[in-house]
Chain A
Amino acid sequence: MIGPVDADTGSIPATSAALPIQSPDPEAASAWLRSDGTPVIELRGITRVYSTGRLEVAALRGVDLDVYAGDFLAIVGPSGSGKSTLMNIIGCLDRPTGGSYHLAGTSVETLDDDDLARVRGRAIGFVFQSFNLLPRTSALENVATPLLYQGVGRHERNERARAALERLGLGDRLDHEPSELSGGQQQRVAIARALVTRPVLILADEPTGNLDSASGAEVLRLLHELNAVGTTIVLITHDSDVAVAATRQVHVRDGLLVS
């Protein structure tokens, strides 16, 4: 059902020794591009209405958006613009009230909660503002946890998690718990966790919001490198300085996209 959203499609063999991050499989990447130009994300007329008691608030009022494989898109908007709601819908954490959403060709609004969880686990890698690592859990285990929910065996899980952490330069921090890591290191663990499942899309929600400028720049540089080797990235931010890191920008205002 979610054919293209398979764990194998985004596999990352080594091609470039210069980069700390290995590039996605060119075969798989071109398969995305070849499929009649089908976008990774295809939003059509997306609306989202929150009803609190008698009050109805429209957070999104009809959003159309296409994101193609290999894109590095920044969704920029001030707080209250609806960009968080948009991120929740793109990340399959929330369902739209109306409109249609295809993720890698799969219509998402027809999926039940378990399928949404599966899509989140396999197709999307999240990078949050507040890192959202599991407390009292080693970096290695944090990165391996998404694979646990996909039924990957312990050995392979740990190998892949170790490889992802090593790619992000954290090979000597495998056993450290989040409280023993700096903010920049925690965000790199979070990126490793997002990468380990080989997702079709990395969704980064204000990834630099809790970091000093040096660590923030480092994280943006990492996202850039990932994108340079073919990873599709959607970056949500209110900061236009951060947004310039992306190759394409869309602005959200009052629940609508403005270019």
Chain B
Amino acid sequence: MRYLELVQLAVSRLAAARLRAVLTMLGIIIGVGSIVALVAVAQGATSGITNRIQSLGTNLLTVQPGSTTSGFVRQGAGSATTLTLGDAEAIASLVDVAAVAPQVSTQAVVVAGDKNTTTSVVGTTADYLAVRTYEIWQGSFLTDVANQESLRVAVLGSTTADDLGLGEDAIGTDILVGGIPFRVVGILQSKGSSGIGSQDDQVIVPISTAQRNFVAGTKVRSIAVSVSSADGIELTKARLTSLLRERHGTDGTNDDFNISDQAQLLDTFSSVTGLLTLLLAGIASISLVVGGIGIMNIMLVSVRERTREIGIRKAIGARGSDILLQFLIEALVLSLLGGLIGIIAGVAASAVIAAIAGWGFSFSPLTVVVAVGFSLVVGVVFGVWPARQAARLDPITALRYE
């Protein structure tokens, strides 16, 4: 009951100096707010990236050509063109391989009626649909026949179809891809991702047609391999490696291809985002410490300013512990209130950022608990010293203080 009275006393003392209280809390508000916002943003970004990687397809292995060396300069991965359609067919005959989709790609202007857009043109096979887990919205996907005959048919991504103003009645109409007429046979269901590298913004044509019209030669840019079960990924990866070494005549020191899987990709991203989260939270906690020092400052000034008040209180029966508690509770109220306002500000900021960036807004109660705990600790740590100074004042000296 005494504590409740002291809380009321502390609140009424703070209310008597409102502006100062708000300014003191500002440090804590910014500190806690930025921690909450940064952690929420990092979590949102991580789950956004994870979702996007997973929507690329399940149990997916990607084979890419290795790097080439031009002069003494080693080029980036994928710069060599060592993969062929033959490799893709050989891979398809391995056990545990559910589907194989070799790919070539280029950029081209696509024209439909009076509308046009620049997008990526992907040449691939019928398996692409299954490997990349797309679904058909209208019409049908590429067929094996279309590949054998190098037909000029195209399947549109949902974004591309929108850009060109094509809807369900577009099936069977003709568009120009890089100036060459193609017949639209299907439109894909949207995967819901957006921004640069969207999986919904592309035109898909038979790989043989693409090789003939857009990317001279029989080389393949990458081969996407869908493994029938998640358990088989490591084994299939090993089989793939030995198969390709055999076909390309390499021995592990001079491989001209590399195989990556989603787990690797996810690992890389999560380690990067984890590090980023830690870094940002670290920076934010510096401002929390600075805010705590601000509270200590104000409380010390307040002890000096209220020396006489402390003397009076002691003369009329306040014990050292009463004074200590009064000042400690004032510091705690400041930091807790600041923490709560900071949480509200942080959650609001992260909701706005999530809305702008287009990933799901995630709110973790753990962050709130940690932030409140943190501001409590700041209040106690930085409140104790001034409070002890106040409690130790000699009543006679304090009463005489002007």
Contacts and interface: CB of A to CB of B under 8 A. Distances in A.
Contact of B316 (A88, A135, A149): A149
Highest count of chain A CB atoms <10 Å: which of B311, B313, B315, B322: B315
B319 A113 contact: yes
Contact of B318 (A88, A136, A149): A149
A93 B322 CA distance: 17
Interface string B358-402: 000000000000000000000000000000000000011001000
B308 A132 contact: yes
A151 B6 CA distance: 11
Contacts of A126: 315-316
Interface string B1-32: 11001000100000010000000000000000
Nearest to A203: B315
A140 to B, nearest CB: 13
A10 interface: no
Given A126-B315, A145-B313, A117 B399 contact: no
5 contacts: A120-B316, A126-B315, A146-B317, A149-B319, A193-B316
A120 B396 contact: no
A154 B320 CA distance: 21
B255 interface: no
B58 to A, nearest CB: 66
A22 B373 CA distance: 52
Contact of A93 (B315, B318, B321): B315
B315 A149 contact: no
A193 to B, nearest CB: 7
B174 interface: no
A93 B317 contact: no
B79 to A, nearest CB: 76
A128 interface: yes
B16 A149 contact: no
Contacts of B309: 134-135
Contact of B317 (A120, A128, A135): A120
A94 B320 contact: no
Contact of B395 (A93, A118, A153): A93
Contacts of A135: 309
Instruction: Give chain B's interface secondary structure class.
Output: helix
A149 B322 contact: yes
Given A93-B396, A132-B308, A114 B317 contact: no
A182 interface: no
A121 B399 CA distance: 16
A155 to B, nearest CB: 12
Nearest to A120: B317
A122 interface: yes
A78 B339 CA distance: 56
A148 interface: yes
Contacts of B311: 132
A107 interface: no
A113 B320 CA distance: 8
Contacts of A94: 396
B151 interface: no
Contacts of B316: 120-121, 126, 145-146, 149, 193
A121 B320 contact: no
A114 B320 contact: yes
A39 interface: no
A150 interface: yes
List the 10 shortest-distance A-B pairs measured between CB atoms, nearest first: A121-B317, A149-B317, A146-B316, A117-B319, A114-B319, A132-B312, A149-B318, A136-B16, A93-B395, A93-B396
B221 interface: no
A135 B306 CA distance: 10
A91 interface: yes
A154 B4 CA distance: 11
A31 B343 CA distance: 61
Contact of A117 (B1, B308, B318): B318
B301 to A, nearest CB: 16
A212 B370 CA distance: 60
B152 interface: no
B391 to A, nearest CB: 10
Given A94-B396, A117-B314, A132-B308, A154 B5 contact: yes
